Structure 1
Amino acid sequence: LFSTTKAVAALMVARLVDEGRLAYDQPVADVWPEFAQAGKAAITVEQVLSHQAGLSGFPDETDPAIWFDWDATCAKLAAMAPLFPVGSASGYHPLTFGYLAGEIFRRVDGRTMGTALREDIAQPFGLDLWIGLPESEHDRVAQMKKPTAAPDLGTIDAVKRAAFLDTGSAPGGRGSAEWRTMELPSANLHGTAKDLARIMGVVANGGILEGRPVLSPGVLAEMLRERIHGRDKVVPFDVSWAAGLMRNEGLHIFGPNPTAAGHCGWGGSCAFADPDARAAGAYVMTRQSPHLVGDPRAQRLIDALYAGL
Structure 2
Amino acid sequence: MASDTTAQETVAGRGAAAAVQGTVAEGFEGVREELAAVVAAEPHDPGVQLVAYVHGRQVVDLWAGEGMTGEALTAGYSLTKGMAHLVVALLVQDGVLALDREVAHYWPEFAAEGKGAITLRELLSHRAGVIGVLGGFRPEELADDRLLAQRLAGIRPFWEPGAGFGYHALVIGALTGEVVRRATGRSIQELYEERVRAPHGLDFYLGLPEDRISRYVDILPSLPTPEQSAALAAAAPGPESLTGIAFNRNATPPTDLLELGNDRRVHALGPASVGGVGNARGLAAAYAAAIGELNGRARLLTPATVAEFSRRHSAGTDLVTGEENHFGLGFEALGVTHPFLGEDAFGHSGATGSQAFADPRSGVAYAYLRRRFAFPPGGGSPENSLLGAAVVRAAG
Please name the residue that 1:8 is paired with.
83
Q: Tell me how far 1:307 sits from its aligned partner.
A: 2.7
Distance (Å, rounded) in 2 between the aligned partners of 1:224 and 1:62: 31
Q: Is the 8 Å Cα contact of residues 67 and 170 (structure 1) preserved in structure 2? A: no
Q: Tell me how far 1:248 sits from its aligned partner.
A: 2.0
User: Which structure 2 residues correspond to residues 172-211 of structure 1 after superposition, within 5 A?
Assistant: 173-205=260-292, 208-210=293-295, 211=297
1:296 aligns with 2:382: yes
Distance (Å, rounded) in 2 between the aligned partners of 1:186 and 1:234: 16
1:144 aligns with 2:231: no
Distance (Å, rounded) in 2 between the aligned partners of 1:200 and 1:174: 22
Unaligned ranges ≥5, structure 1: none
Q: Tell me how far 1:154 sits from its aligned partner.
A: 6.6
User: Which structure 2 residues correspond to residues 273-288 of structure 1 after superposition, within 5 A?
Assistant: 273-288=358-373
Q: Which amino acid aligns with 2:342?
A: N
Q: Is the 8 Å Cα contact of residues 364 and 392 (structure 2) preserved in structure 1? A: no
Query: Residue by residue, what CA displacement relative to the aligned partner does 1:171-217 show, whole Å, maximum 9, x if unpaired?
Result: 86541321210121111211221221111124443xx4444132222
Q: RMSD over aligned Cα, in angstroms?
A: 2.2
Query: Residue by residue, what CA displacement relative to the aligned partner does 1:86-105 show, whole Å, maximum 9, x if unpaired?
Result: 11111101111121011111
**2:370 partner SS:** coil
Please name the residue that 1:47 is paired with.
122
Q: Give the structure with the higher percent strand.
A: 2
Q: 1:255 to 1:188 in 2, by over 3 A?
A: farther
1:26 aligns with 2:113: no
1:158 aligns with 2:272: no
Query: Residue by residue, what CA displacement relative to the aligned partner does 1:211-244 show, whole Å, maximum 9, x if unpaired?
Result: 4132222222221222121110112322221101
Q: Is the 8 Å Cα contact of residues 126 and 167 (structure 2) preserved in structure 1? A: yes
User: Which structure 2 residues correspond to residues 4-153 of structure 1 after superposition, within 5 A?
Assistant: 4-149=79-224
Distance (Å, rounded) in 1 between the aligned partners of 2:172 and 2:135: 18
Distance (Å, rounded) in 2 between the aligned partners of 1:110 and 1:179: 22
Q: Tell me how far 1:267 sits from its aligned partner.
A: 0.8
**2:118 partner SS:** coil
Unaligned ranges ≥5, structure 2: 1-75
**1:308 partner SS:** helix
Distance (Å, rounded) in 1 between the aligned partners of 2:136 and 2:305: 39
The percentage of aligned residue pairs carrying the same residue is 32
Q: Which amino acid aligns with 1:282?
A: A
Query: Residue by residue, what CA displacement relative to the aligned partner does 1:237-291 show, whole Å, maximum 9, x if unpaired?
Result: 2222110111124322x73433322110101111111111111100112112133
TM-score, normalised to structure 1's length? 0.91
Choose which of 247, 251, 255 in structure 2 pairs with 1:167: 251
Q: Tell me how far 1:68 sits from its aligned partner.
A: 3.3
Q: Which amino acid aligns with 2:389?
A: D
Please name the residue that 1:240 is paired with.
326
Query: Residue by residue, what CA displacement relative to the aligned partner does 1:140-176 show, whole Å, maximum 9, x if unpaired?
Result: 1121112235779775562111012211564865413
Q: Is the 8 Å Cα contact of residues 55 and 77 (structure 1) preserved in structure 2? A: yes
Q: Is the 8 Å Cα contact of residues 4 and 269 (structure 1) preserved in structure 2? A: yes
1:212 aligns with 2:212: no
Choose which of 307, 310, 315 in structure 2 pairs with 1:221: 307
Q: Is the 8 Å Cα contact of residues 326 and 336 (structure 2) preserved in structure 1? A: yes
Q: 1:69 to 1:223 in 2, by over 3 A?
A: closer
Aligned residues: 306
Q: Which amino acid aligns with 1:166?
A: N
Q: Where does structure 1 differ by over 6 angstroms across 4 or more consecutive aligned residues?
A: 150-154
Q: Tell me how far 1:294 sits from its aligned partner.
A: 3.4
Q: 1:124 to 1:256 in 2, by over 3 A?
A: closer
Query: Residue by residue, what CA displacement relative to the aligned partner does 1:95-146 show, whole Å, maximum 9, x if unpaired?
Result: 1112101111111222211121112221111112210112221111121112
Q: Which amino acid aligns with 2:347?
A: G
Distance (Å, rounded) in 2 between the aligned partners of 1:87 and 1:293: 24
